[in-house]
């Protein structure tokens, strides 16, 4: 029997005499760590969501590149229901068959040999940082290992990952930060070579995003990453790729690194891996598998429920050929956005991205900010998300159709028309 309060929360506005949800009460009781839009979403299906007033929206946020299969996908509903009825959580004191099945799928569909499961992208990156430090100590003989990361990167909100993040705005008021990180400009080979020379004998790893998401949807340059791979081989250091946002078919390939023609030693996954159910994964090659029992752990990581749902996501991506859909619909989206750049040249600069992670950059001199476009689109029934003050991010579910792409483009056009004529 479903508790009454839960039932009331998900009633339609017409079916409930008194709503149990209040934004004012929410704001009094939940920490204000988010700048929330004045919107409460209560239901979803495919690429559509509905708010508590019954208004429908086309969802091109997808939980920030997380809802791979959209909302209420039958495969996820079935996997979640069956696993919840069978076994939810037992901890990693024991073998978990579905965890092994998910690991097997990930290894078969990537360059990795080993997988560690956790609950989020930040945790996966935290694990990668620990792995790199142990590798530096035990394999390279470095007493205080350094990890090089990129300016404008984003790797998470834990103390180590927020330090790895090359954006001072996320680090403000959280000093002292974790030592052992050095920043270089993204896609700048000479700057990286200079840093390696200055830090000679101290670097254990280079940690990069194949495409910077929060930093403005900046794709990595193929030539740059191939040179980075060579430098890592030359210096016997690890190449870590943060695939939290680019992984799980988001770019039209299973992993972002496939767009760059290289293989990392270590990479991380989360967001789209669980399709909305929290799960993270740290993946590595056997050559750098230096963790031993007791080195790292996660109470909830790899539990049966999360792994069953994630496995259903992986298998559906494969069986429904969502790699191809992400590539095809991504091309359609970018073509449409480029037409809008031509239509509004005073305000729009360019379009960037791979597959279904795309950014529309505004002109630096435009009076319109990314947040303005997001709010105007929301008023038209389209959900978008900023990636910095001047970039609007488009990350719809990978099941999105051509018709939904065209509808989104029309709604953006309408929003821009209203903004530029107000």
Q: What is the CATH number of the domain that holds 96?
A: 3.40.640.10
User: What does the alpha-carbon distance between residue 4 and residue 6 come to, in Å, rounded to a whole number?
Assistant: 5
* Nearest to 398, CA basis, from 69, 109, 61, 77: 69
Helix (H, G, I), strand (E, B) or coil at 233: helix
> Are residue 339 and residue 377 in the same domain, yes or no?
yes
d(CA 183, CA 194): 11
Buried b (16+ CB within 10 A) or exposed e, 329-365: bbebbbebbeebbeebeebbbebbbbbbbbbbbbbee
Together in a domain, 212 and 294: yes
Euclidean distance between CA atoms 265 and 289, whole angstroms: 10
94 and 213 assigned to the same domain: yes
394 is an active site residue: no
Residue 112 and residue 263: Cα distance in Å, rounded?
9
Query: What average pLDDT score do residues 2-9 get?
Result: 64
Yes or no: say if 290 and 133 are a contact pair by the CB < 8 Å rule.
no
Q: Does residue 16 surpass a pLDDT of 80?
A: no
Q: Which of 154, 181, 225, 305 is catalytic?
A: 154
Active-site residue, selected from the candidate residues 52, 116, 181, 242: 242
DSSP element (H, E) containing 224? helix 222-235
Same domain? 54 vs 149: no
Which tokens sit at 183?
A: 């920043």
Q: Which domain holds residue 279?
A: 75-319
Whether the per-residue pLDDT at 413 is higher than 90: the answer is yes
CA separation (Å) from 127 to 164, 188, 190? 13, 26, 29
Residue 98 and residue 173 in one domain: yes
β-bridge pairing 48-51 and 56-59? antiparallel
The domain boundary residue, chosen from 263, 284, 319: 319
> Contact, 308 vs 275, CB < 8 A?
no
* Arithmetic mean of pLDDT over the chain: 95
Query: Is it the case that residue 8 has pLDDT exceeding 70?
Result: no
CB–CB of 419/380 below 8 Å?
no
| DSSP string for 89-154 | ---TTS--HHHHHHHHHHHHTSS-SEEEEESSHHHHHHHHHHHHHHHHHHTS--SS-EEEEEBT--
Q: What is the pLDDT of residues 114-150, one digit of tens each?
A: 999 999 999 999 999 999 999 999 999 999 999 999 9
Q: In what order do the strands lie in the sheet with 56-59?
A: 41-45, 48-51, 56-59, 382-383
Same-domain status, 394 and 249 = no
Whether residue 281 is found in the same domain as residue 410? no
Quote the pLDDT of residue 56: 98
For 235-270, write each residue's pLDDT tens digit: 999 999 999 999 999 999 999 999 999 999 999 999
Q: Quickly count: other Cβ atoms within 10 Å of residue 39's Cβ.
A: 14
Domain boundary residue, one of 299, 319, 339: 319
Residue 172 and residue 104 in one domain: yes
Nearest to 308 by CA among 107, 121, 99: 99
Q: How many domains does the chain have?
A: 2
Q: Is 188 labeled as catalytic in the residue annotation? A: no
Give the residue from 275, 290, 264, 31 showing the smallest Cα distance to 139.
290
User: Which token pair is 114?
Assistant: 């080993």
Question: In this structure, are 378 and 230 located in the same domain?
Answer: no
Does the CA dihedral 127-132-133-137 come out positive or negative?
positive
The proportion of the chain whose per-residue pLDDT surpasses 90, expressed as a percent, equals: 94
Tell me if residue 37 falls in helix, strand or coil.
coil
* CATH classification at residue 36: 3.90.1150.10
Is there a single domain that holds both residue 369 and residue 242? no
261 with 336, same domain?
A: no
Residues 6+ away with beta carbon under 8 Å from 95? none
Q: Facing residues of 208 across strands?
A: 241
**Over residues 29-58, mean pLDDT:** 95
Other C-beta atoms lying within 10 Å of the C-beta of residue 420: 16
Given 271, 291, 372, 394, the catalytic residue = 271
In whole angstroms, what is the distance from residue 213 CA to residue 386 CA? 10
Residue-level pLDDT at 21 = 77
pTM strictly above 0.75: yes
* 118 and 219 part of one domain: yes
pLDDT single digits (tens) 192-210: 999 999 999 999 999 999 9
Domain's final residue, options 319, 352, 386: 319
- Catalytic (active site) residue 242: yes
What would the pLDDT profile of 365-389 be if each residue is shown by its tens digit?
A: 999 999 999 999 999 999 999 999 9
């Amino acid at each position: 029997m479903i508790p009454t309060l839960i039932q009331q929360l998900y009633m339609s506005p017409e079916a409930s005499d008194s709503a149990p949800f209040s934004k004012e009460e929410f704001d009094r009781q939940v920490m204000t760590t988010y700048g929330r839009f004045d919107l409460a979403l209560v239901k979803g299906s495919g690429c559509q969501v509905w708010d508590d007033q019954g208004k429908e929206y086309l969802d091109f946020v997808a939980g920030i590149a997380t809802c791979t299969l959209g909302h209420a996908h039958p495969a996820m509903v079935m996997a979640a229901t069956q696993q919840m009825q069978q076994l939810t959580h037992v901890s990693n004191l024991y073998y978990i068959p579905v965890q092994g099945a998910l690991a097997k799928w990930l290894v078969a569909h990537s360059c990795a040999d080993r997988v560690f499961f956790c609950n989020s992208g930040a945790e996966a990156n935290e694990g990668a940082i620990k792995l790199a430090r142990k590798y530096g100590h035990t394999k390279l003989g470095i007493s205080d290992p350094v990890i090089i990361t990129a300016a404008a990167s984003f790797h998470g909100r834990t103390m180590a990952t927020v330090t790895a993040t090359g954006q001072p705005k996320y680090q403000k008021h959280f000093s002292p930060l974790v030592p052992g990180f050095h920043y270089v400009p993204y896609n700048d080979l000479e700057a990286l070579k200079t840093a390696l020379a200055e830090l000679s004998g101290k670097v254990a790893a280079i940690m990069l995003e194949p495409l910077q998401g929060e930093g403005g949807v900046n794709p990595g340059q193929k030539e740059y990453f191939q040179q980075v791979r060579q430098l890592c081989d030359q210096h016997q250091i690890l190449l870590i790729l943060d695939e939290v946002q680019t992984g799980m078919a988001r770019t039209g390939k299973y992993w972002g690194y496939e767009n760059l023609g290289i293989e990392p030693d270590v990479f991380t996954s989360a967001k789209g891996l669980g399709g909305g159910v929290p799960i993270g994964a740290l993946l590595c090659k056997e050559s750098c598998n230096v963790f031993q029992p007791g080195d790292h752990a996660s109470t909830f990581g790899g539990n049966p429920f999360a792994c069953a749902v994630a496995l259903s996501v992986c298998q559906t991506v494969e069986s429904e050929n969502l790699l191809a859909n992400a590539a095809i619909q991504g091309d359609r989206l970018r073509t449409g956005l480029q037409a809008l750049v031509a239509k509004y040249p005073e305000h729009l600069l360019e379009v960037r991205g791979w597959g279904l992670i795309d950014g529309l950059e505004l002109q630096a001199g435009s009076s319109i900010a990314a947040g303005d476009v997001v709010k105007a689109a929301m008023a038209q029934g389209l959900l978008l998300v900023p990636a910095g003050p001047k970039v609007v991010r488009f990350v719809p579910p990978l099941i999105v159709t051509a018709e939904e792409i065209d509808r989104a483009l029309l709604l953006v056009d309408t929003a821009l028309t209203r903004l530029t004529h107000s």
